[in-house]
Structure 1
Amino acid sequence: MKLMYRIAMRLALVLLPLIAVWAGLFYFKTLDEVNDETDDALDEFAEKVIARMLSGQELPSNVGANILYDIIPIGVQFAQDHPSIRYYFNDEYFPSIGREPARVLTTVFRTDSDNYYLLKAYTPTIDKQELMQGTLVWIVILYFSLLLTVMLVTILVFYRNMRPLYRLLDWLDRYRVGGKNPPLDNNTDITEFQKLNEATEKALGRYDEAYEAQKEFIGNASHELQTPLAVMGNRVEWLLDNTDLDEKQIGELLGIQRTLGGVVRLNKTLLLLTKIDNGQFPESTDVYIPALVQESVEVFSEIYEDKGIEVDFPHPDNLVVRMNESLARTLTGNLLKNAFIYTPAHGKIRITVRGRSLEIANTGDKPLDADHIFDRFYKSGGREGSLGLGLAIVGAVQRYYGLEVKYRFEEKKHVFSVKWG
């Protein structure tokens, strides 16, 4: 996940509880302020009505008034049992609008003639349900508006201040170890990015030095090992051709010759794996995969002619990929060689090139270990003379180019598939 998306998610998660808390406080504070104002108006109106009644003046009319009232005679006991003043909410009837939520004030007072009365004054007020629904709607609108605004501002500020990081990442994407790379042009006055630039250049410098040293070592090791191995092989051949040996001695020398041949092949294969892992195949060209497959099929069909293997290679799609031709030939060759080696006598190999994928299926008895078949020195069935590196090379090429290489076993067939992106 990109850093910007993660920041946006965290902003959304932080804003949500903050807005929710603010909405709750706003709702109760608004309700409290409305109640205070309404109670003050009811108090003033009640004092006016009581003062007029006690002084014998004409009482206010309920017709068209915003605050309505009722004066109810009560007994002494009722007056003593009820508080002198009380506020509460109740649904009351208003001639002009019908029954509506109202804020109600009740107060008990006594006249000069010792008569007790209950004054009930009430006025329309805010419907709590409607207030809550309205508040919720506007809070949701406010949340998304605020979130959008904050995210836009954050994105602008983020990308403007993170430009040095993106320039560095772009330079790293184009950087090739051991290749000719342009110098890092990432001027910035931000201390942290300056340190990051310096650390990156130093690390890649050490990496380049190690790469060159390793490449030199590989070349020297290849030369130093191949020469004595070739000399030893030639001497064994000379002994076989120019000396009088008995049958036992000839057998021993032939065994030595086979062992030397295995060591030579092992040396070459390990060197190839190391070169692939070190990225020493930078050259790429357009490679026509069906042509490489056909070439390998012809070679291996001749080598394993005695097994009587049937090869089915129908008309392929026009699959052209961009990669190193040598590695492409190694990839297809090792997969096909593996199929020819492990297909039983008179078995069948089917090769399919469709779209951007190559699939090779060959007859088999039991499945291979899918978790380890691409590991170095993995051997199936302990076949004599096998190095267990053929599919390891396929795995190395897969990692080098980011290919999708899969194995499955179905209908008594080993199926290897390679997919180019």
Structure 2
Amino acid sequence: MKLIYYIILRITLALTFILTVWAIFFYVTMIDEVNDEVDDALEDYSETIIIRALAGEELPSKTNGSNNQYYMMEVSKEYAESREDIQYKDSMVYIEEKEETEPARILTTIFKDDEGRYHELTVSTPSIEKDDLRDAIQVWIIFLYVALLFCIIIISVWFYRNMRPLYVLLHWLDGYQTGKKNKPLSNETQITEFRKLNEAAIRYVERTEQMFEQQKQFIGNASHEIQTPLAICRNRLEMLMEDDSLSEKQLEELMKTHQTLEYITKLNKSLLLLTKIDNGQFTDTKQLELNGLLKQYLQDYEEVYDYRNIEVTIDEQDIFNVTMNESLAVALLTNLLKNAFVHNIDGGHIRITVTKNSITFRNSGVENPLDKEHIFERFYQGTKKEGSTGLGLAIADSICRLQHLSIRYYFEQKEHCFEISRQ
């Protein structure tokens, strides 16, 4: 959710709560003030009637033209003692002069004359239409709410325009790719905080580019400097192994050392390849037909497969074309071919199916499915296999993510399946 929508939503909720509470308190306070004024008038009116009744004077007309009315009747002592001295209530009364019913405020009081008789006096006066008042307050509260919300939206939009430099910077950072040619940041602003943020972003990008270049140089140097002494060590070991004077035990130890160097060499190459992939150094892409590449490298593995009596079949149902870096395509296919060989069984099989949108490698192997949650993690091997560095599937996964492909593992019909498809 954008910041402006988040602000408007929060302000809307706050306004709803504040204005609702305010309207309730306003209505209660107003009704209380109106009742106080009406009650004072009713008390004065009732006192006048009681004074005249006790003095034996003529009582005023029950309808005196002001819509005020009164009723008086004699009551028993028990009834008088069971009632409060003064009671107030709201009710509907019939106005004889208008011949209609209107809301009124009613006062009921008990008094005793000189002869000890008790009388109940009921005095009423028309009151305001409280339902109409409540409806009017509700209408005007809604109007106030809409007006305030409209003003807040206008102010928020105005504020959003002042936030434009922030969104320009975010858009620039979102499209920035380290190691590639990017557009310079053009984000003029008079706001001090945004100007400092622009400067900080540019400094961060410059440091990132510098570190990226240093990393690329290190990878390039490591690729040459580490491989050279490893190759020298291997050659010297091979020369030593040709010496006829060596005992069988010495020759065995040299062979183990040679195998270790071979493993370190392959591990070093795999790690360097992974680092280059993660750094996005394979930028050159072109349209490739993976069917041809697959069959080309299958020929290189024929002798290896025959050595373990592994049967390889390929079912080309269509041509799988993809736009990607050719070196990465070769690394992807060869790693999956090697994985199918290393984790296979003697006398097993490899079945490869190619469609328009996918390539699936199926191979025999252990009879239990692998952990598909960790199968593509670096150095995860499950059961240790000779010749495996634990990086082949991690490399395949990194290549697929870089080239916008999808790779997944599943176990079906006692076969381990790795499927490459378009996202």
Same fold (TM over 0.5): yes
Please report how far the alpha carbon of residue 69 of structure 1 lies from its aligned counterpart in structure 2 after TM superposition: 3.8
Please report how far the alpha carbon of residue 59 of structure 1 lies from its aligned counterpart in structure 2 after TM superposition: 0.9
Please report how far the alpha carbon of residue 107 of structure 1 lies from its aligned counterpart in structure 2 after TM superposition: 3.3
1:251-277: per-residue Cα shift (whole Å, max 9, x none)? 555544433332322221111111122
Instruction: Please name the residue that 2:188 is paired with.
Output: 187
Q: Does 1:172 align with 2:187?
A: no
Counterpart of 1:261, as a letter, is: E
Please report how far the alpha carbon of residue 164 of structure 1 lies from its aligned counterpart in structure 2 after TM superposition: 1.5
Relative to structure 1, the CA distance from residue 168 to residue 384 in structure 2 (aligned partners, 3 Å threshold; closer, same or farther) is same
Cα distance in 2 between the residues matched to 1:294 and 1:145: 71
Contact 1:15 1:143 in 2 (8 A): no
Matched residue SS, 2:27 = helix
Relative to structure 1, the CA distance from residue 289 to residue 86 in structure 2 (aligned partners, 3 Å threshold; closer, same or farther) is farther
Cα distance in 2 between the residues matched to 1:288 and 1:154: 57
Instruction: Please name the residue that 1:225 is paired with.
Output: 226
Instruction: Please name the residue that 2:201 is paired with.
Output: 200
2:122 to 117, 120, 123: 120
Between stretches 232-241 and 177-186, larger displacement belongs to 232-241
Cα distance in 2 between the residues matched to 1:177 and 1:293: 32
Please report how far the alpha carbon of residue 116 of structure 1 lies from its aligned counterpart in structure 2 after TM superposition: 5.4
Contact 1:52 1:59 in 2 (8 A): no
Please report how far the alpha carbon of residue 291 of structure 1 lies from its aligned counterpart in structure 2 after TM superposition: 5.3
Counterpart of 1:370, as a letter, is: K
Cα distance in 2 between the residues matched to 1:164 and 1:10: 23
Instruction: Please name the residue that 2:325 is paired with.
Output: 324
1:205-220 correspondence runs (5 A): 205-220=206-221
Instruction: Please name the residue that 1:88 is paired with.
Output: 89
Relative to structure 1, the CA distance from residue 184 to residue 97 in structure 2 (aligned partners, 3 Å threshold; closer, same or farther) is same
Contact 1:177 1:208 in 2 (8 A): yes
Cα distance in 1 between the residues matched to 2:198 and 2:299: 53
Counterpart of 1:375, as a letter, is: E
Q: Does 1:262 align with 2:263?
A: yes
Relative to structure 1, the CA distance from residue 265 to residue 358 in structure 2 (aligned partners, 3 Å threshold; closer, same or farther) is same
Cα distance in 2 between the residues matched to 1:138 and 1:291: 77
Percent of pairs identical after alignment? 42
1:6-405 correspondence runs (5 A): 6-36=6-36, 38-39=38-39, 42-43=42-43, 46=46, 55-56=57-58, 59-61=61-63, 67-74=68-75, 82=83, 84-90=85-91, 102-108=104-110, 117-122=119-124, 145=146, 149=150, 152-153=153-154, 155-237=156-238, 244=244, 248=248, 254-288=255-289, 292-293=293-294, 299-300=300-301, 303-305=304-306, 306-311=308-313, 313=315, 315-316=317-318, 320-321=322-323, 323-344=324-345, 345-349=347-351, 351=353, 353=355, 359-364=360-365, 365-398=367-400, 400=402, 404-405=406-407
Matched residue SS, 1:88 = strand
Between stretches 181-190 and 68-77, larger displacement belongs to 68-77
Between stretches 44-53 and 411-420, larger displacement belongs to 44-53
Please report how far the alpha carbon of residue 70 of structure 1 lies from its aligned counterpart in structure 2 after TM superposition: 2.5
Counterpart of 1:388, as a letter, is: G
Cα distance in 2 between the residues matched to 1:342 and 1:147: 70
Matched residue SS, 2:282 = coil
Matched residue SS, 1:280 = coil
Contact 2:169 2:187 in 1 (8 A): yes
Cα distance in 1 between the residues matched to 2:139 and 2:418: 58
Counterpart of 1:218, as a letter, is: I
Cα distance in 2 between the residues matched to 1:35 and 1:354: 85
Counterpart of 1:267, as a letter, is: N
Q: Which runs of 5+ in 2 are unaligned?
A: none
1:39-84: per-residue Cα shift (whole Å, max 9, x none)? 356456656766887752661449x985554222335676677555
Matched residue SS, 2:226 = helix
Between stretches 38-47 and 228-237, larger displacement belongs to 38-47
Relative to structure 1, the CA distance from residue 50 to residue 161 in structure 2 (aligned partners, 3 Å threshold; closer, same or farther) is same
TM-score scaled by structure 1? Answer: 0.77
Cα distance in 2 between the residues matched to 1:147 and 1:307: 82
Cα distance in 1 between the residues matched to 2:341 and 2:5: 50
Matched residue SS, 1:386 = coil
Contact 2:68 2:123 in 1 (8 A): yes
Please report how far the alpha carbon of residue 388 of structure 1 lies from its aligned counterpart in structure 2 after TM superposition: 1.0
Relative to structure 1, the CA distance from residue 261 to residue 49 in structure 2 (aligned partners, 3 Å threshold; closer, same or farther) is same
Counterpart of 1:271, as a letter, is: L
Cα distance in 2 between the residues matched to 1:291 and 1:65: 107
Cα distance in 1 between the residues matched to 2:180 and 2:165: 23
